[in-house]
Amino acid sequence: MNTRRITLIVAVLLAVGTGILTLRYLNSINQQAQAPVQAVESKPIIIANRDIPARTKITPDMLTRVNRPANEVEPGALSDPKQAEGDIALITIPANSTVTETKVGHPAELGVTARLTPGMRAVTIPVDRVKAVAGLIDPGDKVDVMASVPRGSGSPPRTFAIIRDATVLAVNSQLDAAGASPDPDAGNPSLVTLAVTADQAALLTSADLNSTLRLALRSPNEPMRSLPEEDLQYPDLLAKNGAAPSSAPSPKPSPRVSVIDGDKYLSGAQ
């Protein structure tokens, strides 16, 4: 009888414990269901309400202020239309896209200096329609600079590719492609500005004073190092320094005779 009582008591205790645990679990679920949902923090930003082409001056009617979840906001997003008013779109900003600090800038940022990376120089050379590929060169194109030196003593004129893959920064005073430029002289270039290294700037200046320069338009898909650059040489200077130009013919050997003086044989006397 005692064993049956003990078994019954244990069963009752287990049932009570299970009931208590069940009630606690149900109570915790009920509390979670009744707890208010935590709101996601939002942040005001401005977006473009239309497509804004590159180099367009931004006005307030182009922008709309909206609220977006903070975790979805792009870095550097502007929050007030006045922050971009009067600026220039540095790139095309599609409609409904966020306006950020990197997409807009002051008009001065569109000049030549903004397009030069550290270590590069802008150098302008005179050209005409022939030297500038019939006026078909536009800003942003890649060109090789060819330098033709005059005929030297006993050597023909030569042309050297002194600079490869130079970027055209401007044609005349235009920084945009000729098709988008209102300048009627854009197709009649007289000046071309190139982005070159500091050493190339010195070389280009010297070549402009002592040779005839011409530009060769490159394919945008051609690797930069597809062809080597060539050292600029002036035949007349080589001759003055005692070095014969590579294209000059080798001097003919003087005739030589053999002389017999008594019982002596002298070979190679001139």
pLDDT one-digit tens code per residue, 215-234: 999 998 888 778 888 888 87
Is the per-residue pLDDT at 258 higher than 50?
Answer: no
The model scores a pTM over 0.85 = no
Instruction: Assess contact for 137 and 217: CB atoms under 8 A.
Output: yes
Q: How far is CA 109 from the centre of its chain?
A: 15
pLDDT of residue 256: 46
- More reliable by pLDDT, 17 or 127: 127
Q: Quick one: average pLDDT of 64-70?
A: 90
Band (pLDDT 50/70/90 cuts) for residue 41 is confident
Is the per-residue pLDDT at 145 higher than 90?
Answer: yes
User: What's the pLDDT tens digit per position in 107-141?
Assistant: 666 677 777 888 999 999 999 999 999 989 998 89
The CA-atom distances, in angstroms, between 251 and each of 198, 222, 248, 256 are: 41, 42, 9, 15
State the first-to-last Cα distance of the chain, in angstroms, to the nearest integer. 148
- 49-58, 94-103, 180-189, range with the lowest pLDDT: 180-189
247: left (phi over 0), alpha (psi -120 to 50) or beta: alpha
CA atoms 169, 171, 174, 180: torsion sign: negative
Q: Quick one: average pLDDT of 160-168?
A: 94
Instruction: Indicate the Cα dihedral angle 25, 29, 30, 31, nearest 10°.
Output: 100
Is the per-residue pLDDT at 214 higher than 90?
Answer: yes
Cα angle, residue 267 at apex, residues 265 and 270 outer, rounded to 5°: 125
Is the per-residue pLDDT at 34 higher than 60?
Answer: yes
Is the per-residue pLDDT at 240 higher than 80?
Answer: no
pLDDT of residue 183: 54
Q: Which of 58, 102, 106 is nearest to 82 (CA)?
A: 58
Q: Calculate the average pLDDT of the chain.
A: 80
- Residues in Cβ contact with 43 at an 8 Å cutoff, skipping those fewer than 6 apart: 67, 68, 69, 70, 73, 77, 79
pLDDT of residue 249: 42
- The CB density around residue 235, as the number of other CB atoms within 10 Å, is 23
Q: Which of 200, 192, 124, 191 is nearest to 163 (CA)?
A: 200
Strands of 1-116 (E only): list them: 42-48, 63-69, 88-89, 104-105
Is the per-residue pLDDT at 165 higher than 90?
Answer: yes
Is the per-residue pLDDT at 65 higher than 60?
Answer: yes
Using DSSP, state whether 137 is helix, strand or coil: coil
Band (pLDDT 50/70/90 cuts) for residue 42 is confident
Instruction: Assess contact for 233 and 247: CB atoms under 8 A.
Output: no
Q: Quick one: average pLDDT of 245-259?
A: 44
